[in-house]
Every structure is written in C-alpha cells, then in structure tokens.
Amino acid sequence: MNRIGKWLDQRLHYVFTIPTILFVLGMVLFPIIYTFVLSFHSWRLSANIPWEFVGLQNYVKLFSESRFPVAVFRTFLFAFLALFVEVILGISIALYLNRTFFGKNLVKTAFLLPMVATPVAIGMVWKLIYEPNIGILNAVIRGMGGPKMDWLGNTGIALYSLIAVDIWQWTPFVMLIILAGLTSIPTDPFESAMIDGANRWQTLTRITLPLLRPTIFTAVLLRLIDALKTFDIIYSMTQGGPGFATETMNILSFRQAFEFMQFGQSGATLVLFFLVVMSIAAITIKLKSKTEVDF
Amino acid sequence: MLDNMAGSKRQKMIRITLFYLFVVVVLAVVLFPFFWMILASFKKNADILNVDKLFSFVPTFKNYVSVFVDYDFFKPLTNSFIISFVSTMLALLLGLPAAYAIGRSRMHLFSGIILMIRIVPAISFLVPWYLLFTKLKLTGTYTWLIIYHLIVSLPTIIWIMIPYFESIPRDLEEAAKIDGASNMGTFCRIMMPLSTPGTLTAGILAFIFSWNNFTFALILCSSRTTTLPIAIYQFISYSNVYWGGIMAASVIITMPIIIISFFLQRHIITGLTAGAVKG
C-alpha cells in the first residue's frame, strides 16, 4: 500500500464522516442559520427590494396578533392529546396482546401499515370517510339516528377529527415499541413476585410498568417530536382551515412563507417553533435519564 | 371436582374467544381505511357520490385507466421511484461509513447533530433553499430533489446503523487487524457483510420515508419532476373532486409499501423501533 493510502487509512473515521459533515453543514446548518437571520429582516421575495433589518419586529408582530399564540396552543393540544391517547391505548393493547397466538405476525404487519403508508394517501381516504354528504362515518351516524356532522368543515371539530387520524395512525407505533420492550425485560422478577403471592394488578403496576419505563419514555420522545411537527396529514386534509381552525405552528410557518410570501415572519415562527420542539425534547430526555437512575 | 374442572375449562374458552374477538376488532379498525380506499377505487364516481351504494356496486377499472391516461400518472410514478431509489442509494453510500465511524470512534457530537435534524422542522430547511433555487432557476431539477431527499434518508440510515454497528463485537475487527488487514479492508470485507440485515432495514425505511415525502416536493418540484404524493394532492384542487381517481391513485402509491411490509415486516419493525428498546 502506498503512503497516502496508509495515511488515509489511519484516519478512516474522518474520511468516512467528512462527506456527511459537509452535507449536514451545507444542507442543514446553513438553512437553519439563514432562517434565523431572516427572522430579523423584512423581505417579500423580490429581487429589486433588498432585505431590510427590522430587529425584533417580526417577533413582536407575532405576539401582537392572536393568530400565532392560538397556533401555539393548537400545536400543544394536537400533540399532547394525541400522544396521551396513543400511549394509554398503545400500552393497554400491547399488554393484552403480549402472548403467543395464532396470526400474531399478521397482526403485527397490519399494525405497521398506518405508519408506513403514504400520509397524503391516508389523508385522502380519511377525507372521504369524513365527507359530510357521502362519507361512511356520517352514513353510520345517520343510520343510528344521529345528526349530520361536518367533521373537517366545522371550526369546532376539525382539529379533533385530525387528532383522531393521528391516533389511528400512531397508536400501533407505541404498541409495537412496547411489545418489543416486553420481550426484552427479564423474567426473574415475575417469578419471585409469583412466589410472594402478588396478584396480577400488583405485578403490572409494581414490576411490568416500572421495567418498561425507559421504553415508554423513548416512545413518548419519538412520538412527541413527530406529533409537534405533524404536517402532511393536516396540510393534505385541511391546509390549516377552515379559516385558521387547524393551523398549528408548522402549518402557520408554511402559509406565511409560501402563501403570503412573508419570509421574515415565517422565519420568526420557525425559530420559535424550533425552540418549542427543542425544549420539549430536552425536558423529555432529562425526565428519562432521571427515571433510569431509580433502577 | 369434575364440575369445577369443566367450569374452568369453559372459562378458559370464553377468555380465548374474547381475546380473538378483541384482535379482530382492533384489526378491523386498523385496516378499515385501507379497505375503504381499495373499495372506492373500484367504484364509478357516481356510486361513490351515492350513499345508498356504499357496498353494492358494479366494480370498474375505469379509475385506474383514467389515472394513467387522463392524468398521466406514469410520470410522477417514475419520478417518485427514481428520486427515492437514487437518494436511498446515495444515503447508504454516505451513511454506512459515517455510521460505522460514529459508532466505533464514539463521535457523540456527531450523533447529536443527526438527532437535531430529526428535531428541526423541515420547513426551516425549505425556505432558504427555495429562495436560492428560484434565484438560480434550479427548482424542479432531479439532482436537487434527490439531494434534498437525502435530508430525510441520510439521518434515517445513520440513526438505525449506529446502534447496529455498535452491537457487532469488536473482536472480529481486531482479529482482522492482527492478520494485517487495513481499516478500509476490515470495513468492506468484514463489517459490511456482517451488517447486511441492518443495511436492508435502514435502506427500506429510507426508501419508504423518501417515497412518502410530501413537504419537500410540495415546494421544490416542478411539473416535470412531480412526485406521487404531490400528484395525488393536486387531484383535490380540481373543482369537482374526482374521488374514484384519488382513491385509485392512493392505492397505487401505498401498494408498493404494503407489499414491502408484508415481506419484510420484521426488518421494518426493528428499524422503526431502533434505539427505543435498548433504552
């Protein structure tokens, strides 16, 4: 082997990472810094008008109108309500299905489908199911003598209809993670508990759930980050409407940029959105490491 | 005594029946939208609009024909395939060595940055590049869309492969080194073959995420490089919603993924839950 080859081989971990580092710097870090700088400027996508430095004006404007704070609230409502239901349902179903039974693999495959299927296609089917005049949901409700509901057109219900889709789509994810976690916890504590005469409920709350805690936290962390950032389902089904009824921070920043061409405003929304997701992720990780010390 | 045994046996039967009933109900809820999608894709539009014909209708292939003939779906289908496939291959080429180096040399800062990409909202990547692309008139070229999809596929691959490489014992590499193999040779001839299952998992997931990607293409593709998710989304912007066509298109886009899931279920589950079970 020649000398250059040898020199490179000894520093292979740099050779292996440099292309990826360059990619990350160029495609990821540059846009983040650009967005940050943009958030202090006013600019409307025009080659003739240069950027104008406006200081914190974009941020002040966000808080002076109700549209932004409400979008923040909606983002939290969407993410936490969906997450809460998904975790409770996911854990319960996983605990119940945690045994060998006929067709278990098929069931697992079925659970995969909602989360790997193309979100836009999922959005379209649910739009058809929710359709007030021809949708099956209203047909069923009508059959039971209920009222006609405009699931996506009513400003009071639309967000909850979207949360329901998220729950349908992601409960299986929590469930699969918990099922995988259940197979990896040791059996000895269960045996000693049985010898000590613990009943089922005690075994569940004192042994199974505490042992599963790290797994549950990871599921919560991954799901929470993605739920806060939900875009495809919301945008393909309602575009943030009717009015602003389903406008989360993500959708708001998108509309500000690409519908109203207010790139500075959008930048400010994105910076704040990023901070929100970051801090929630950090809190979750902190809580997670705290629970791990207990064991 | 005998009575008691028969009683507990009956109880057991009831419990098993209830269990399978539960499984069936859960399956029905999970699968219903897919069933509905497929059903509607074989209905005439008039039948979809007629609530009395929710289940009784004469199946038709017209929607599928129309999707390809009237809406030219071959183009987005090939676009989607090319973009997802090439970006996945590129991501594997870049990501596998990077994940190996990060996992072995414990470059924690780096794995932190990869996690950051997951956290940062995708739209903050979009704005600057959109502005730059429109200035340079680059919007809608294949090359840029492929590079853009790397933002999705590269972190996915690195994220899955770091723990995978970490789980392979070091002894094998050390043995190879004692035998005089170079680092590069060890990676290519020992680590790569050993990590084939992980690579497959990472590759499939990267492909699926890229295939499904809506946000990037929504802004960055042109009419020439439209991908499938955008083509489906554009259906609803026509004044009369052509539900049959939308459902046929939705079946076309989800079918490859459903088929992949059936054959490679175990891989996809390990990929999606990567890092979660380890705690």
- What average pLDDT does the structure give for chain A? 86
Q: Which residue is associated with the tokens 């406008």?
A: A247
Strand partners, A41: A53
**Which of B110, B123, B166, B173 would you mutate first to test chain A, the one with the most A CBs within 10 A?**
B123
> Which residue ranges make up each domain of chain B?
63-272
Q: Find how far residue B136's CA is from the centre of its chain.
A: 31
Pairing of strands A52-53, A41-42: antiparallel
Q: Helix, strand or coil for residue A117?
A: coil
Q: A128–B30: do the CB atoms touch at under 8 Å?
A: no
Give B146-186 pLDDT, tens digit per residue.
Answer: 888 888 889 889 888 888 888 888 888 888 888 888 888 88
Give the angle B41-B43-B44 at the CA atoms, nearest 5°. Answer: 120
- Rounded CA-CA distance A107/A112 in Å is 9
Q: B274 pLDDT band (50/70/90 cuts)?
A: low
Tokens describing residue A229: 């950032």
Q: A277–B254: do the CB atoms touch at under 8 Å?
A: no
Averaged pLDDT for residues A96-112: 88
- Rounded CA-CA distance A9/A211 in Å is 44
- The percent of residues in chain A predicted with pLDDT above 90, rounded, is 31
Q: Which residues of B touch A278 (CB under 8 A)?
A: 119
Evaluate if residue B49 carries a pLDDT over 80. Answer: no
Tell me if the domain spanning B63-272 has CATH number 1.10.150.20.
Answer: no
Evaluate if residue A91 carries a pLDDT over 70. Answer: yes
Evaluate if residue B224 carries a pLDDT over 50. Answer: yes
Q: A121–B253: do the CB atoms touch at under 8 Å?
A: yes
The answer to whether the CB of A277 falls within 8 A of the CB of A221 is: no
Task: Give Cα separations from B10 to A26, A222, B1, B3, B32 (angstroms).
Answer: 67, 43, 14, 11, 32
Averaged pLDDT for residues B175-198: 84
- The percent of residues in chain A predicted with pLDDT above 70, rounded, is 96
Find all residues with CB under 8 Å of B6, minimum gap 6, and list them.
none
* Per-residue pLDDT at A123: 93
Q: Which of A61-70, A193-202, A250-259, B244-253 has the lowest average pLDDT?
A: A193-202
**Which of B38, B252, B277, B278 would you mutate first to test chain A, the one with the most A CBs within 10 A?**
B277
Q: A159 pLDDT band (50/70/90 cuts)?
A: very high
Evaluate if residue A48 carries a pLDDT over 70. Answer: no
Strand partners, A53: A41
Evaluate if residue A289 carries a pLDDT over 90. Answer: no
Q: Pick the residue from chain A with its C-alpha nearest to B126.
A: A31
Evaluate if residue A3 carries a pLDDT over 60. Answer: yes
Sorted by where each starts, the structural domains of chain A and their CATH numbers stand as 66-293 (1.10.3720.10)
Q: Helix, strand or coil for residue A41?
A: strand
- Rounded CA-CA distance A152/A234 in Å is 10
Q: Which residues of B touch A122 (CB under 8 A)?
A: 33
Find all residues with CB under 8 Å of A122, minimum gap 6, and list them.
A114, A165, A169, A233, B33
Q: How far is A111 from chain B (nearest CA, A)?
A: 7
Q: Helix, strand or coil for residue A227?
A: helix
Core vs surface per residue A34-48: b (16+ CB within 10 A) or e:
bbeebbbbbbeeeee
